[in-house]
Structure 1
């Protein structure tokens, strides 16, 4: 009877086809929802990965900038250390050369500041490594000693010693013609101003003052007269 009804164009059980269509639509909906959920999950993961990559790139760029700044600071520090080391080496190399020059200039200033009426005539100044040789004329040994005594107080001077002194007669020009002027005895002396060696500490010098307030000088004299 059922087959007869279908053959005549009538479906006597329509609920079965409706169930099949509903089940098909439900499965399609579930599949679509699952697809959408999967796409959303994949998109969220891809978005998070892109965000993390951007954040890491920003941190890497910041770290690179910090490292570059640190390297520049280290390079500048190393350069300043090299410059300071070169300056220190230059000062150490120039100090031994500057000490004799400064001592010699101080000696010349002391000689220039001598009282005008000392009657001592400086003839020659010779500089050596740790000493200066002076050649001068004086009317007597006491005047020469007083003239040299001032040099003992200069900074760095270790001793002042007269190594040679000889008397010679000088004739002054006479005002009158055919008149013989009397000869004047003058003392020609050579003294050594010895300085302390580099790095040597100053040692307390012996008492320089005698009963008369004058320090004895070490003289080695020669009383030979120069031939006229």
Structure 2
């Protein structure tokens, strides 16, 4: 028996292909939506993790900023204490300066010179006196220049022969002179005393090595 298909088979195949295509598109859309949902969920998790890390870093930065401020405050306190200590040391040194000055003048003034006036203005000391000879004044200048740890830059201002009085029985000729020197700021006594000890200990270490 011969079967004859009277239905429009071409239209039926076309409809089947169309249904398959629509089904494929639907599955692709569902797959795309699923992928987008997974990607969005992962992105949200990464964003949340990054926000948490940012908040953690902000908290740590705030702690570090506070510590830096504390360190800056501590440094300013230390600098203030150092300035106060230096002011106290300078005051102590300035209080002892006249003693150092007089003691040094006694050491460096040679025989044959008599000081008549000592006047200090800041770090400059003006000295006037009487000398038996010009050589005594030169020796005084050399002593203050090379031998004194406290006096520096001596400068002779004037020297002149004194006119003896008419009724004077002493024929010796004297010289009036005036000079000025610069007063160095002396070291603290403790530092000056410890310097030789440190030098001696360093020499002993070097000898033993």
Q: Which TM-score bucket, shorter chain as reference? A: 0.3 to 0.5
Larger fraction in helix: 2
Q: Which has the larger radius of gyration?
A: 1
